[in-house]
């Protein structure tokens, strides 16, 4: 409407009241229909409307307004609607409506997540979320990838981390038992123990070994008890999987993909990004200069301008071991030997302090990575790759896959995964095996970066975290 309607045309607009101000003669209503961060200014000359009606125009009320689109006399908007007819579709009692035209804390809005869409900030975040989802499909479609729907219910633990939510129809109080006193899952709905998936990768591999290039994009579930600003129990993951790609092709794709998405946000979401940037600066204005984060648009552009720094885990451990932060005991988890798993404090040190750009770490110790990764000739490391981003830490995890049947079975034995239970997965290595690779992008972590929001609970409509499944 703001973009397409012509001046002096009769228009009809529907939306929710953001604010109302004015005087005895005239009343200005800021109306928003959710399509953009910008409001439509509705001007109502009070003499044309019953006082009772205008009283019901309060923040949050739903209105339909018929009137004339005219050039705005005021500053702040090019056009406004001169109201001829106002209908209050739904009142919002100011005594009871929680979202008032003042600054609410993000915590308060999380408790009112059912209404937080009505705020400017969450309107912006969820419009950007949509744009990023669209851009992901667009990116892969344009490059010959096929969208694959991986199952959400599964009997296998793809990541082998044992963080799965059980899916069962057995009576929790008296489940059927086997002779040796274990729960008898043979009698469960699927005839075996099943859970919600932690990754669609294994199924993605099966499809890639026939369709060439595929990607999944769906909800993923992890019962890890991490109450951090970067973990959800239910999050969305994008998992491309490509036949005939080695680890280098995989890194090139990951870098190009992330840059494309960020460029797309800058090209298509600028109004919302500018709003989010201003809000962030407002929030941080009392902090010392060195503690403030980079301006959002600048930060997004800086990722586009620089190639990502690529180095091995071994090189990264050397950098960390010798770092001032490590020597001065600044790390909560000191880096004292090769083989330690890197924490987000280490990842962020590499990205924010040392290289000052996104980093792709490769060739991690096999011990700290999943069973399916391609074993390197050194017999210690695997062809893994993690992409690390400022403020976020790990945004992508991926690898080249072990294509050799014997090596894969040996590794599964070592980590205690019975090969018989995953015979279907191993068949891709039995028949027409070939090099292939893929990765997983945490969709909400991408959104944290693009929107500049600080808590992952604020970039998904209804967050699922330990002890929290409201709405
Ligand atoms: O590194 P992860 O565990 O990798 C996989 O699941 C592989 N199967 C991916 C693949 O190769 N196809 O997870 C991938 C990404 C992480 O880098 C992170 O961005 C995100 O998923 N992620 C989470 N995001 C939010 N909450 C959580 N609990 C997450 N766990 C992982
Ligand atoms: Mg990972």
Mind listing the pLDDT tens digit of every residue in the chain (471 residues)? 667 778 889 999 999 999 999 999 999 999 999 999 999 999 999 999 999 999 999 999 999 999 999 999 888 888 999 999 999 999 999 999 999 888 899 999 999 999 999 999 999 999 999 999 999 999 999 999 999 999 999 999 888 887 999 999 999 999 999 999 999 999 999 999 999 999 999 999 999 999 999 999 999 999 998 899 999 999 999 999 999 999 999 999 999 999 999 999 999 999 999 999 999 999 888 888 877 788 999 999 999 999 999 999 999 999 999 999 999 999 999 999 999 999 999 999 999 999 999 999 999 999 999 999 999 999 999 999 999 999 999 999 999 999 999 999 999 999 999 999 999 999 999 999 999 999 999 999 999 999 999 999 999 999 999 999 998
Quote the ligand 2 centre to 455 CA distance (angstroms): 19
* β-strand partners of 196: 153
Residue with tokens 């924490």: 343
* Homologous superfamily of 9-101: Nucleic acid-binding proteins (2.40.50.140)
- Ligand showing the shortest atom-to-Cα distance for residue 231: 1
3-state secondary structure (DSSP) of residue 284: helix
Is the distance from the beta carbon of residue 392 to the nearest atom of ligand 1 less than 6 Å? no
- pLDDT for 283 equals 87
Q: Where in the chain is the domain with CATH 2.40.50.140?
A: 9-101
Measured CA to CA, the distance from residue 1 to residue 297 in angstroms comes to 27
Q: Are 437 and 249 in contact (CB under 8 A)?
A: yes
Instruction: Determine if the pTM surpasses 0.85.
Output: yes
Is the distance from the beta carbon of residue 242 to the nearest atom of ligand 1 less than 6 Å? no
Q: Which two tokens stand for residue 338?
A: 């090769």
Measured CA to CA, the distance from residue 401 to residue 201 in angstroms comes to 11
Q: Are 401 and 436 in contact (CB under 8 A)?
A: yes
Measured CA to CA, the distance from residue 156 to residue 313 in angstroms comes to 28
* β-strand partners of 195: 154, 166
- pLDDT for 277 equals 97
Nearest residue (by CA) to ligand 1, atom 31, is 442
Q: Are 160 and 370 in contact (CB under 8 A)?
A: yes
- pLDDT for 6 equals 86
- pLDDT for 74 equals 83
- pLDDT for 1 equals 63
- pLDDT for 325 equals 93
- Ligand showing the shortest atom-to-Cα distance for residue 388: 1
- Ligand showing the shortest atom-to-Cα distance for residue 439: 1
Please choose, from the candidates 158, 255, 145, the residue with its C-alpha nearest in 3D space to the C-alpha of residue 201.
Answer: 158
Quote the ligand 2 centre to 202 CA distance (angstroms): 15
| Ligand 1 pocket, mutate which of 200, 230, 247, 397 (most atoms under 8 A from CB) | 397
Quote the ligand 1 centre to 248 CA distance (angstroms): 20
Q: Are 31 and 83 in contact (CB under 8 A)?
A: no
Is the distance from the beta carbon of residue 222 to the nearest atom of ligand 1 less than 6 Å? yes
Q: Are 217 and 444 in contact (CB under 8 A)?
A: no
Residue 237 CA, closest ligand 1 atom number:
21
- Ligand showing the shortest atom-to-Cα distance for residue 228: 1
Nearest residue (by CA) to ligand 1, atom 17, is 396
| Other Cβ atoms within 10 Å of 145 Cβ, number | 20
Q: What angle do CA 319, 321, 324 make, to 5 degrees?
A: 85
Q: Are 67 and 83 in contact (CB under 8 A)?
A: yes
Q: Which CATH architecture has domain 118-163+198-308+357-458?
A: 2-Layer Sandwich (3.30)
Q: What angle do CA 283, 442, 456 make, to 5 degrees?
A: 30
Q: Where in the chain is the domain with CATH 3.30.930.10?
A: 118-163+198-308+357-458
Residue 386 CA, closest ligand 1 atom number:
17
């Amino acid at each position: 409407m703001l973009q397409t309607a012509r001046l002096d045309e009769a228009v009809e607009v529907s939306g929710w009241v953001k604010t109302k101000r004015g005087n005895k003669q005239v009343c200005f209503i800021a109306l928003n229909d959710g399509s953009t961060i910008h409001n439509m200014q509705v001007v109502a000359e009070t003499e044309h409307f019953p006082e009772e009606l205008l009283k019901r125009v309060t923040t949050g009320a739903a209105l339909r307004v018929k009137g004339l689109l005219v050039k705005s006399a005021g500053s702040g908007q090019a056009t406004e609607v001169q109201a001829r007819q106002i209908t209050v579709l739904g009142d919002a009692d100011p005594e009871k409506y929680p979202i008032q035209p003042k600054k609410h804390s993000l915590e308060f809005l999380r408790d009112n997540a059912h209404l937080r869409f009505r705020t400017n900030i969450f309107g912006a975040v969820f419009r950007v979320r949509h744009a990023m989802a669209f851009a992901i499909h667009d990116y892969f479609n344009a490059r010959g990838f096929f969208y694959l729907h991986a199952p959400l219910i599964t009997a296998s633990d793809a990541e082998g981390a044992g963080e799965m939510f059980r899916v069962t129809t057995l009576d929790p109080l008296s489940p059927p038992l086997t002779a040796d006193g274990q729960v008898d899952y043979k009698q469960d709905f699927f005839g075996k123990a099943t859970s919600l998936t932690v990754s669609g990768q294994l199924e993605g591999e099966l499809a890639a070994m026939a369709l060439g290039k595929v990607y999944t994009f769906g909800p993923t579930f992890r019962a890890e008890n991490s109450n951090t600003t970067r973990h959800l129990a239910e999050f969305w993951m994008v998992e491309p999987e490509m036949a005939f790609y080695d680890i280098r092709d995989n890194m090139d794709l990951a870098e190009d993909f992330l840059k494309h998405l960020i460029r797309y946000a800058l090209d298509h979401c600028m109004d919302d990004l500018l709003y989010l940037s201003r809000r962030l600066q407002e929030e941080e204005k009392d902090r010392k200069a060195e503690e403030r984060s980079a301006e959002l648009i600048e930060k997004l552009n800086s990722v586009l301008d620089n190639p990502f720094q690529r180095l091995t885990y071994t090189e990264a451990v050397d950098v960390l071991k010798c770092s001032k932060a490590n020597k001065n005991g600044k790390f909560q988890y000191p880096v004292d030997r090769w083989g330690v798993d890197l924490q987000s404090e280490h990842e962020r040190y590499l990205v924010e302090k040392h290289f000052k750009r996104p980093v792709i770490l490769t060739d991690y110790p096999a011990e700290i990575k999943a069973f399916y990764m391609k074993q390197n000739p050194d017999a210690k490391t695997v062809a893994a790759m993690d992409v690390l981003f400022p403020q976020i830490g790990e945004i992508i995890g991926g690898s080249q896959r072990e294509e050799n049947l014997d090596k894969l079975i040996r590794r599964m034995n070592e980590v205690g995964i019975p090969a018989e239970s995953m015979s279907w997965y191993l068949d891709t290595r039995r028949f027409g095996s070939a090099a292939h690779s893929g990765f997983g992008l945490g969709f909400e972590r991408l959104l944290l970066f693009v929107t500049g929001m600080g808590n992952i609970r604020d970039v998904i409509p209804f967050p699922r975290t330990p002890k929290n499944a409201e709405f």
